[in-house]
Homo-oligomer: A and B are copies of this chain.
Amino acid sequence: MDPLKLENQLCFPLYAAARGVVKLYTPLLDKIGLTYTQYVTMMLLWEHRQLSVKQLGERLYLDSGTLTPLLKKLEAQGLVTRRRASEDERSLIVTLTDAGGALRERALGIPQALGQCIQLSNGEAGTLYTLLYKLLGQM
């Protein structure tokens, strides 16, 4: 069993499947003008309305090098506003706009549409979910 053989690697199908699912999302997200990373960012803002860049980064496992340009694009689209916190000017607060909130309605069909591309039983999906979060917890 050669550990340097691609088919014996656990991380490779993880890497490939992650790119694959993002590709499945792309045509759906195109309709509402978002990329996948922008989509998961908006998901957090739909839930919390207002988060700092640091909080977004912690939850998305992304740093400001990725988030800063992404948030500027969302701001340019009118979906969010960016302003420094008055209590602590180091912190940049991202807030959902009305247009950003309204976009959620147009995203409602996406999870189900994607679910149709992925044929896993509830048990399999649950197992996968658990194992992936276990992995994430080790990083």
Contacts and interface: CB of A to CB of B under 8 A. Distances in A.
A125 interface: yes
A32 B12 CA distance: 19
A40 B136 contact: no
Interface string A53-64: 000000111000
A118 interface: yes
Contact of A18 (B2, B14, B40, B112): B14
Interface residues of A, number: 55
Contacts of A25: 11
B131 A127 contact: yes
Contacts of A104: 4
Nearest to A13: B132
Interface of A: 2-6, 9-25, 36, 40, 43-44, 46-47, 59-61, 104, 107-108, 110-112, 114, 117-120, 124-125, 127-129, 131-136, 138-139
